[in-house]
A and B are shown apart, each in its own frame.
Chain A
Amino acid sequence: MTDTTIQPSDVVETDDGISLKVKLARATRRNKLRALALVAPLGIFLIIGFLWPIGAMLLRSVHAPDFGEIMHRTAVVIEAWDGEGIPDEHVFAALVEDLTQAKEEKTIGRAATRFNFSMPGTRSVFTRTGRKINSIEEGPYTEAMIEINEAWGGHEFWLNFQRLVEPYTARFYLNSVDYRIGDENEIAVQPEERQIYVKLFVRTLIMSLIITTLCIILGYPISYLLATLPLRYSNLLMILVLLPFWTSLLVRTTSWITLLQKEGVLNDIVVGIGLVADENRLQMMFNATGTVIAMVHILLPFLVLPLFSVMKTIPPSYMRAARSMGATQFTAFRRVYIPQTLPGVGAGSILVFILSIGFYITPALVGGQSGQLISNIIAYHMQRSLNWGLAAALATILLIGVLLLYWLYNKIVGVDNMKFG
């Protein structure tokens, strides 16, 4: 170095007096812009097709403005109600106006559905009142309404009404974990016959664990064969592993039905050879067993492929070295080979586990009653009952659960240790 040493605090400048950082930014700007332009289509697609809908769904699990919008006049005046008895005449007057407008705009059905979710059996209160609302011409509205349907005189009915006009709510999440907002605005346990979601979450977790374990047990030897057999045999085996991948999921699932149902091929065989009496045919389909069998088959390649590519990178000299040092075949396998395959097992099993936690088609087709998973109930609320808020809450809990498990996995095993090949 010469005596004109650059002080670390000085801004480094180029010959023309512009700071080096600025120069560098200028020089690389073109490349940065080009790179950005290249990833832009994917980025836009992801935002429009993925992030935005997911965000909207998450919002829906706490945000339910429908009822409040339809009953917007009532919503304003009911705020002042102290929750004792029933609301006063102002509220009823606003209600009549809202219902009249809703009838014209044909939105009473929607309001009725929303109300019915939180208070089952009340749908008809709205639809019937709607049909007769035009008969009310002047006040007092309170009596007139109660005359049309006596539910309007109910204290709990109005408490529920007051809760429903609020646009933001925690009730979907409470429902998702088998709680509800009680009659007196307290958090209460759902009645026993309506406690289904926690049970479903637990069942989904347990079945995913069983499926992952079975996949490891079945997939490990296949992967080992794939990685160690001579090329011409391993290629054939690889095709056999990949074949299910190239067949439609639906076809694979339905072929399991043909094989395993009560009048199916397997039952015919065991009855035919006299192993099982005709009236005791095995029930292997339309229950949890069927779901596990079909899902293991479908998810197996997701474990085999990462595991295989990790095993492929382990040179045979490790096993030879272990054996030359006096380890038996089994010891060498257990202490030298298996530890080196763990990153592949980790990658494969987390893939299988996360996929099976959200699996829908197979349990829907072969699950029967006992093989339904949480995704099936989410689909039910999306498509049938149209309780999207509850569906969104269940989906959000599932998403957070998966992220938690991933975090846990990272803590215990370390994601860096995961190898896909």
Chain B
Amino acid sequence: MSDKAIEGQPFVRFDKVQKSYDGEILVVKNLNLDIPQGEFVTMLGPSGSGKTTCLMMLAGFEPATHGEIFLGGQPINNVPPHKRGIGMVFQNYALFPHMSVGENLAFPLEVRGMSKDECATKVQRALDMVELGAFSNRMPAQLSGGQQQRVAVARALVFEPELILMDEPLGALDKQLREQMQYEIKHIHENLGVTVVYVTHDQSEALTMSDRIAVFNDGVVQQLSSPSDLYERPDNSFVAQFIGENNRFDGKVTSVSRGNCKVKLDSGETVEAAAINVGGKGERTTLSLRPERIEINPKSKAGRNVIKGKIEEAIYLGDHIRTRMTAGGSSDFIVKVPNTAGHTPLEEGKTVNIAWLTEDCRALDPIV
């Protein structure tokens, strides 16, 4: 990103940020992250990967051990949380139980010294936005989980912050409600144009809502890209494994040329793959291949890798048939066969040809 002028700078910037709680272990290792205004960025990762810590540093509840965080071009390490003007939605909503919904929403306005009338107008507008206009006088305990969630979102938005942080806000909801809320939050983001930093460990949530996703592991951002890139073009094996379903082969690079490489699998076959994240000849690598990019008994072999596989199990799932095979040294090789007219009959125990395009198979860093 450019360092020219403040307006050219990203809205949120983590610059070489490190964080340690005990002085021995780094929870966040050298984080560099730029978020432009209006973007919906998700921090995705397994628990303990440092994503929530990053959010807390941005909100101001945890100081960064090293490095600087910028908001709107200004360093904010020494700005206390209440002066950062960041809206926040918490995992368990944190609605004040002793205040009604209306009072909860009025709270951020009152502490800003806003007049009563102005407060009431803004509270009503925010409640209408989440379709809870008639609930102003209810207490939080009288609301359902989904309603509480919406109140929490409305409360974070009511004072019109430019940045909203959300810390696993949908974690406590059931599946159906969670999916509905994902769309609602996404639409609110689109309508208001606020910048959102969202933390979750649920990848489908991240894929549904985000403009870009930062995949965290072990205190490091493994990859920061759009949902489709993350799924289709993972940079490393962790991302390939973490996002969606993935088949992996382990092998050794035998040659590299023009972006592709030949890999001799541990089971003996040699296949060609896109060289994304590999060392030179003789280095080990892990190949990543999505289950829906595999064909069984292809008509043409042009541009395709073909190996033999034995069908172990076929599970009928309606729109597709999930087939578990032994192939390329793995007994857990998954192929999703679309349930089209005249697809290959999948008999258990039968050996078939399986094929994929070279560019769909990515040679990545080896998993030890």
Residue of A nearest to B164 (CB): A324
In B290-314, the 8 Å CB interface with A consists of none
Known contacts A315-B94, A326-B111, A335-B107: A321-B88 contact under CB 8 Å: yes
* B46 → A minimal CB distance (Å): 22
Stretch at the interface among B79-87, B116-124, B142-150, B321-329: B79-87
Q: Which residue of the partner chain, among A315, A317, A325, contacts B111 with CB atoms under 8 Å?
A: A325
* A414 → B minimal CB distance (Å): 13
B-chain residues with CB within 8 Å of residue A315 when the two chains form the complex: 92, 94
Known contacts A315-B92, A317-B91, A317-B92: A324-B98 contact under CB 8 Å: no
Whether, in the assembled complex, A410 has its beta carbon less than 8 Å from a beta carbon of chain B, the answer is: no
Residue of A nearest to B61 (CB): A320
CB of B107 within 8 A of CB of A328, answer no
Complex interface bits, B238-268 against A, C-beta within 8 A gives 1, otherwise 0: 0000000000000000000000000000000
CB of A326 within 8 A of CB of B88, answer no
Q: How many residues of B contact A (CB 8 A)?
A: 27
Residue of A nearest to B85 (CB): A326
Q: Which residue of the partner chain, among B82, B92, B97, B98, contacts A323 with CB atoms under 8 Å?
A: B82
In B62-103, the 8 Å CB interface with A consists of 80-88, 90-92, 94, 96-98
* B357 → A minimal CB distance (Å): 48
CB of A340 within 8 A of CB of B97, answer yes
B-chain residues with CB within 8 Å of residue A321 when the two chains form the complex: 88, 90, 94, 96
Query: In the complex, A326 Cα to B98 Cα: how many Å?
Result: 19
CB of B111 within 8 A of CB of A318, answer no
A-chain residues with CB within 8 Å of residue B96 when the two chains form the complex: 318, 321-322, 336, 340
Whether, in the assembled complex, A327 has its beta carbon less than 8 Å from a beta carbon of chain B, the answer is: yes
Whether, in the assembled complex, B112 has its beta carbon less than 8 Å from a beta carbon of chain A, the answer is: yes
Query: In the complex, A141 Cα to B312 Cα: how many Å?
Result: 125
Whether, in the assembled complex, B59 has its beta carbon less than 8 Å from a beta carbon of chain A, the answer is: yes
Residue of B85, B86, B111, B159 contacting most chain A CB atoms (<10 Å): B111
CB of B97 within 8 A of CB of A327, answer no
Whether, in the assembled complex, B279 has its beta carbon less than 8 Å from a beta carbon of chain A, the answer is: no
A-chain residues with CB within 8 Å of residue B82 when the two chains form the complex: 323-329, 332
Residue of A323, A327, A336, A339 contacting most chain B CB atoms (<10 Å): A323
* A308 → B minimal CB distance (Å): 19
B-chain residues with CB within 8 Å of residue A339 when the two chains form the complex: 98
* A158 → B minimal CB distance (Å): 67
Query: In the complex, A144 Cα to B279 Cα: how many Å?
Result: 133
CB of B108 within 8 A of CB of A320, answer no
* B101 → A minimal CB distance (Å): 14
* B71 → A minimal CB distance (Å): 13
Whether, in the assembled complex, A331 has its beta carbon less than 8 Å from a beta carbon of chain B, the answer is: yes
CB of B94 within 8 A of CB of A325, answer no
Residue of B nearest to A336 (CB): B96
Q: Which residue of the partner chain, among B60, B87, B94, contacts A317 with CB atoms under 8 Å?
A: B94
Whether, in the assembled complex, B51 has its beta carbon less than 8 Å from a beta carbon of chain A, the answer is: no
Whether, in the assembled complex, B336 has its beta carbon less than 8 Å from a beta carbon of chain A, the answer is: no
CB of A324 within 8 A of CB of B87, answer yes
In B1-49, the 8 Å CB interface with A consists of none
Interface residues on A, range: 10 to 19
B-chain residues with CB within 8 Å of residue A328 when the two chains form the complex: 80, 82, 111
B-chain residues with CB within 8 Å of residue A336 when the two chains form the complex: 96
A-chain residues with CB within 8 Å of residue B59 when the two chains form the complex: 320, 324
CB of B94 within 8 A of CB of A331, answer no
* A319 → B minimal CB distance (Å): 9
Query: In the complex, A340 Cα to B94 Cα: how many Å?
Result: 13
Known contacts A325-B107, A327-B107: A318-B85 contact under CB 8 Å: no
Query: In the complex, A325 Cα to B82 Cα: how many Å?
Result: 6
Q: Which residue of the partner chain, among B84, B97, B107, contacts A322 with CB atoms under 8 Å?
A: B107
* A170 → B minimal CB distance (Å): 48
Whether, in the assembled complex, B155 has its beta carbon less than 8 Å from a beta carbon of chain A, the answer is: yes
Query: In the complex, A317 Cα to B88 Cα: how many Å?
Result: 10
Complex interface bits, B155-167 against A, C-beta within 8 A gives 1, otherwise 0: 1100100000100
In A279-327, the 8 Å CB interface with B consists of 315, 317-318, 320-327
* A332 → B minimal CB distance (Å): 8
Known contacts A325-B111, A325-B155, A327-B82: A320-B90 contact under CB 8 Å: yes
Residue of A nearest to B81 (CB): A323
* A316 → B minimal CB distance (Å): 9
Query: In the complex, A19 Cα to B83 Cα: how many Å?
Result: 71
CB of B108 within 8 A of CB of A318, answer no
In A206-263, the 8 Å CB interface with B consists of none
CB of B81 within 8 A of CB of A320, answer yes
Query: In the complex, A276 Cα to B184 Cα: how many Å?
Result: 72
Complex interface bits, A334-354 against B, C-beta within 8 A gives 1, otherwise 0: 011001100000000000000
Known contacts A320-B61, A340-B97: A327-B111 contact under CB 8 Å: yes
Residue of A nearest to B83 (CB): A326
* B94 → A minimal CB distance (Å): 4
B-chain residues with CB within 8 Å of residue A323 when the two chains form the complex: 60-61, 80-82
A-chain residues with CB within 8 Å of residue B97 when the two chains form the complex: 340
* B241 → A minimal CB distance (Å): 32
Residue of A315, A327, A329, A340 contacting most chain B CB atoms (<10 Å): A327
Query: In the complex, A324 Cα to B165 Cα: how many Å?
Result: 10
A-chain residues with CB within 8 Å of residue B98 when the two chains form the complex: 339-340
Query: In the complex, A153 Cα to B259 Cα: how many Å?
Result: 133
Query: In the complex, A328 Cα to B79 Cα: how many Å?
Result: 12
Residue of B85, B97, B107 contacting most chain A CB atoms (<10 Å): B107
Residue of B nearest to A318 (CB): B94
CB of B90 within 8 A of CB of A326, answer no
B-chain residues with CB within 8 Å of residue A332 when the two chains form the complex: 82
CB of B108 within 8 A of CB of A317, answer no
B-chain residues with CB within 8 Å of residue A340 when the two chains form the complex: 96-98
* A13 → B minimal CB distance (Å): 41
CB of B90 within 8 A of CB of A317, answer yes
Query: In the complex, A320 Cα to B94 Cα: how many Å?
Result: 9
Known contacts A320-B59, A335-B107: A326-B112 contact under CB 8 Å: yes
* B159 → A minimal CB distance (Å): 7
CB of A326 within 8 A of CB of B94, answer no
A-chain residues with CB within 8 Å of residue B112 when the two chains form the complex: 326
* B195 → A minimal CB distance (Å): 15
* B81 → A minimal CB distance (Å): 4
Query: In the complex, A357 Cα to B86 Cα: how many Å?
Result: 50
* B147 → A minimal CB distance (Å): 17
Residue of B nearest to A321 (CB): B94
Which residues of B approach A to under 8 Å, CB–CB? Answer: 59-61, 80-88, 90-92, 94, 96-98, 107-108, 111-112, 155-156, 159, 165
9 example contacts (A-B, Cβ-Cβ < 8 A) are as follows A320-B59, A322-B107, A323-B60, A323-B80, A323-B81, A324-B60, A328-B80, A329-B82, A340-B98
Q: Top 4 nearest A-B pairs by Cβ distance?
A: A325-B108, A321-B94, A324-B88, A317-B94
Q: Known pairs A320-B88, A332-B82, A340-B97. 10 more at Cβ < 8 A?
A: A315-B92, A317-B94, A320-B94, A322-B96, A322-B107, A323-B61, A324-B88, A328-B80, A328-B111, A340-B96
